[in-house]
Amino acid sequence: MLRCRARGLHLGATALWGAQASAQKPVSPSPPLNLDDRKVFQHKANWEITRGLLVFLLCSSPQLVQKAPRLLSVSRRVLGRRLWDGLLRLTFYGQFVAGETPEEIKATLQRLRQLKVRPLLAVPIEEDVGQAKEGEGWYDMNAQAMLACLDLSVSGLSGESPRNPMMQLKITALMGAELCKTITLRLQEQEGALDLTVERVLALLKGQELRFGCLSPEENLHFQKSLSRLRSVAEVPFTVSKMLLLEEKKPSAVYAVGKKVRVLVDAEYTYINPALSLVTMAMMAACNAQVPWIWNTYQAYLKDTLKRLSQDMGLAERLGMCFGVKLVRGAYLEKERQRAREKGYPDPVHATWEATNESYRHCLDFALDKASRAGGRFELIVATHNKASVEHTVQRMTEMDINKNDGPVSFGQLLGMCDHISLPLGHAGYTVYKSIPYGSVEEVIPYLIRRAHENWSVLQGIREERDLLRSELWRRILRKP
């Protein structure tokens, strides 16, 4: 449904929200940051407070989260589609999703803008190993959904000029996870590593005709088509003739770079991440000559993250390209550990939560140092719900004199969570984004369940936000000032 609606969203977004206003309003001085504000939720309606408490209470139950797929399947059969749909819209869907129609998405983005929070739109489409699709049709439809997401990222801000719009991209929506796994395995071989270089992938991304000897003919063909889809989203310059482009019926190159949208490529599992990074670095080399339009994601819960981050930054410097980093702790901990046990290789994840926090801090300090000295050629989004990490970032930004408003450093959290961090940041003038999925209930709920399974540590950390919501509800019931 989401992909079927993509063309309608793609064509209707600009018409719905109108032309962008050319003038910016004067910026008034921002108040100081207060992450301990007990009245942070005063702007929320009573039903929003109640819904948040209910959803967080349910999400705090590990048994309920693990059994969610089965419970949702049974409840859909018992309640019927319409009642099931309506119930979810009042609870989980309403808490974490922007909506399905352009009007619903627009309303969500307007509310965020009033709260000084920016949207980071995410199309809830991905593929894992073992879920391969027949042919290229599914991936082609996903490419149209990504183009629609780019349009929404630009034109969804109530008619005013967007400020540094962003969107998330999962490469496995446009390229088969099986091929990503194969490329990752080939990169571990000497012959494959020499064959699958960033420079050669960049040449193919730009339209040159070449083949990779370490891949089969079928894999080469799918790789070529996948890069063509990524090229259409990112607006990579072609090196082939205009006539050939017309014959191949490529989309006009007016997206991502042309629309000035930063594309944050998500990291996924370690058995496909090297392939994702290879493609992302090639996209960076093609698009990031002057501005970091394409960003890569680094998962601090992996033991080798700081090393890979340093290596990728070195490659970026050698290739003369700008660099964008989305720094996260990581979401696939249990599956990574289980796979390591089953396959008999060392656990790639840090052994303790404290070690992960230390890794995150080291990566963060390394990236902040780069951002402070790069003159706009390096940008970072600190994607975390951890209060200590946010406070550390704010302190380092002050020490390094990094501009908090539209500077090289921003913050990111999930829609429907961590408002007690996001809202004070935005109110104090920091650049803060909310990751926002959108689409129909049937499309987005499975995506939310996967995120709940993967982000269990985050769900366990919602106690402070839940307590603040409960305190605000009692304040209203008792009519306290």
DSSP states along 251-320:
PPS-STTTTT-EEEEPP--TTTHHHHHHHHHHHHHHH-SSS--EEEEEETTBTTHHHHHHHHHHHHHHHT
* pLDDT range class, residue 8, cuts 50, 70, 90: low
- Rounded to two decimals, the pTM is 0.88
Lowest mean pLDDT, pick from 62-76, 112-126, 341-355, 418-432: 62-76
Res 209 pLDDT > 60: yes
Cα angle 351-460-438, degrees, rounded to a multiple of 5:
110
Pairwise CA distance, residues 451 & 443, whole Å: 13
Structure tokens at 103: 């009007």
Question: Side chain identity at 175, as an amino acid letter?
Answer: M
Mean of pLDDT values over 343-369: 95
Distances (CA, A) of 299 to 51, 122, 421, 432: 31, 18, 21, 19
Cα angle 119-122-126, degrees, rounded to a multiple of 5:
170
Mean of pLDDT values over 163-184: 94
Question: Do 51 and 91 meet the contact criterion of CB atoms below 8 Å apart?
Answer: yes
Residues 6 or more apart whose CB falls under 8 angstroms from that of 342 comprise: none
Which residues, in sequence order, are bridge partners of residue 169? 265
DSSP structure string for 418-473: -HHHHHHHHHTT--EEEEEE-S-HHHHHHHHHHHHHHTHHHHHT-HHHHHHHHHHH
Length of the chain: 481
What pLDDT, on a 0 to 100 scale, did the predictor assign at position 159? 53
Question: Percent of the chain beyond pLDDT 70?
Answer: 86
Closest CA to 2 of 440, 464, 356: 440
Question: Do 435 and 414 meet the contact criterion of CB atoms below 8 Å apart?
Answer: yes
What pLDDT, on a 0 to 100 scale, did the predictor assign at position 58? 84
What pLDDT, on a 0 to 100 scale, did the predictor assign at position 36? 81
pLDDT tens string 115-152? 999 999 998 888 888 888 888 999 999 999 998 888 88
Collapsing DSSP states into helix, strand and coil, what is residue 169? strand
Helices (H), 80-136: 81-90, 92-96, 102-114
Res 274 pLDDT > 80: yes
Question: Side chain identity at 157, as an amino acid letter?
Answer: L
Distances (CA, A) of 157 to 119, 120, 154, 287, 421: 9, 12, 7, 25, 22
Res 243 pLDDT > 50: no
